[in-house]
Amino acid sequence: MNLPHSRAGRRALTAVAITTGLILAVSGCGGGGSGDDDAKQQSKSSPPSSSQQSEGEGTDSAPPQQPANEVLAESKGEGGLSLAITSAVRDQSGYVTVQGTVTNGTGKSWVAAEWRSDENELVKNGASIAGASLVDKAGRKKYLVLRDTEGRCLCTRFTGGIMSGDTTEWFAQFPSPPEGTTKVDFQVGSMPPAAIEISEGE
């Protein structure tokens, strides 16, 4: 009789059966992923929520878009020329930057001849908005466009003029009125004064 061999065979079969059962049990527990694994995988693949973006997560691609500038004031001249002011911001350096657009509705090319400054220092700026000013009626002061050491205005030059029907952007920088002064009149050339309010920048 071969009893030792048959016992050894049974033991081997039993060990194989137990090992197979354990493998199946382990793979059954992990097969298809548990709820926690699914949640982790989903959190990796799904985009961040709006609340996460507001906290600075997932916002490296581009800064949020700023809303379009509103028109603070508008001045219409004779012949169809229109000037709009979209911002007037005082910065910590002691300057006020005024920005806007000008639309040429005159029916012909416009070269801003009336908008240039009469000051000798700015006479070389030609077609520009160098003749603009801020008028503080309450403080009885007038602020002229700034210029650099070479007499170039810190403002827009309309090189080549503006064709009829076109709209172009402009800017002009001025010394800042006192911090308590927020309401001023913007004036250039023969355009009617435009009342604006200065806002505080960074």
| DSSP result, 127-196 | SBSTT-EEEETTTTEEEEPPB-TTS-BSB-B-TT-B-TT-EEEEEEEEEPPPTT--EEEEE-TTSPPEEE
Higher pLDDT, 118 or 85: 85
Closest CA to 88 of 190, 193, 183: 183
Among 86, 62, 63, which Cα is nearest to 73's?
86
Q: What would the pLDDT profile of 32-84 be if each residue is shown by its tens digit? A: 444 455 544 444 444 444 444 434 333 333 333 334 568 999 999 988 999 99
Q: Residue 116 gets which letter from DSSP?
A: S
User: What ranges do the domains of the chain cover?
Assistant: 3-54, 73-200
pTM of the model: 0.65
What CATH number was assigned to the domain covering residues 73-200? Answer: 2.60.40
Cβ burial, residue 7 (10 Å; 0-12/13-18/19+): exposed
CB 153 within 8 Å of CB 117: yes
Partners of 103 in beta bridges:
82, 167
Neighbours of 99 (CB within 10 A): 18
How much is the pLDDT for 63? Answer: 35
140: pLDDT confidence band, cut at 50, 70 and 90?
very high
Segment 9-24 shows an average pLDDT of: 48
User: Comparing 39 with 128, which gets the higher pLDDT?
Assistant: 128
Instruction: Share the mean pLDDT of the chain.
Output: 77
Quick check: 144 pLDDT over 60? yes
* pLDDT tens digits for range 73-83: 999 998 899 99
